[in-house]
Amino acid sequence: VSTQSTGETLYFMLKDEAGWSLTGSEENDVRVWGLITLLILFGISMAGMAWETKAQVVLLVLLIRRMVNLVVGAFITTDEKAEKGFFGFQIDLIKYNMVPHFTEGESFFSVFSVFFPAATGIMAGANISGDLKDPSQAIPKGTLLAILISTITYCFISL
């Protein structure tokens, strides 16, 4: 599923930003980008844990950069953003957004599915605990801290 979502993301970014397509078909482009992503991940896995750990650090840096861009961009309002529905931080909008307003066909559980991958990714961290000095102490602390940070991040970004 992650490979498919990465393929879709790459397809739409290239199509929207550059007007570029590999095959001329959305369905096939998603498949090709998914395959490329899968091959890159397979290559990292075959290279060994040292490469996988280095790749995680690079991905973490990219994720943090993206989040900083999101926060900085949230304080910069333009007419172009207003046309797309972003009006900056306004106390009335924040109050309105604190109460759920599900669109037709959506529920708490369908929206929760957006948050759920962050929580399941935490298990990946627990699974690479072989390098820890004291796993019995570090895993529970790390897992709870990861859940807390994920929750705070999602709540902050949703404002």
56-60, 76-80, 92-96, 123-127: which has the minimum mean pLDDT? 123-127
Is 104:111 a contact under the CB 8 Å cutoff? no
pTM (whole model) above 0.75? no
Q: Is 64 exposed, middle or buried (0-12, 13-18, 19+ CB in 10 A)?
A: exposed
Is 61:34 a contact under the CB 8 Å cutoff? no
Is 41:59 a contact under the CB 8 Å cutoff? no
Would the pLDDT of 136 be above 60?
A: yes
Amino acid identity for residue 92 in this structure: D
Would the pLDDT of 38 be above 80?
A: yes
